Amino acid sequence: DQQVKQNSPSLSVQEGRISILNCDYTNSMFDYFLWYKKYPAEGPTFLISISSIKDKNEDGRFTVFLNKSAKHLSLHIVPSQPGDSAVYFCAASAKGGSEKLVFGKGTKLTVNP
């Protein structure tokens, strides 16, 4: 039972354009959401998070949007850079983030120069 779903296994965009990575969840108890970024042969690194009391959180080129009614969140990267090429994992947690993280399968982003 996949509680966190990233339906696009891969995404390719041109440098300078916007990258939009999507994530859907099924567990209505999830109230804290995170994005992790992973380069090959490295562990995932935290990128940005959002609490369910917000619908948007911005950090530099990265913005996460949360639509609670649709159980959907997205990560926007603007402008995209070749160094952003990596696998991006969406993760969710319940009880204000105090429960274990449940991860999606990841989306491989390729930013072409």
Partner 1 sequence: GAGVSQSPSNKVTEKGKDVELRCDPISGHTALYWYRQRLGQGLEFLIYFQGNSAPDKSGLPSDRFSAERTGESVSTLTIQRTQQEDSAVYLCASSLNGWGGKNEAFFGQGTRLTVV
Q: Is residue 25 a contact residue for partner 1 (CB under 8 A)?
A: no
Q: Is residue 31 a contact residue for partner 1 (CB under 8 A)?
A: no
Q: What is the CA radius of gyration of the chain?
A: 13
Q: Is residue 113 a contact residue for partner 1 (CB under 8 A)?
A: no
**Cα–Cα distance for residue pair 22/110, rounded to 1 Å:** 15
Residue type, 4: V
Cβ-based nearer residue to partner 1, 38 or 71: 38
Q: Is residue 96 a contact residue for partner 1 (CB under 8 A)?
A: yes
The DSSP string of 29-43 is TEEEEEEEEE-TTS-
Q: Is residue 106 a contact residue for partner 1 (CB under 8 A)?
A: yes
Question: Residues in the site for partner 1, rule: CB under 8 A?
Answer: 4, 6, 32, 36, 41-46, 49, 51, 89, 91, 93, 96-106
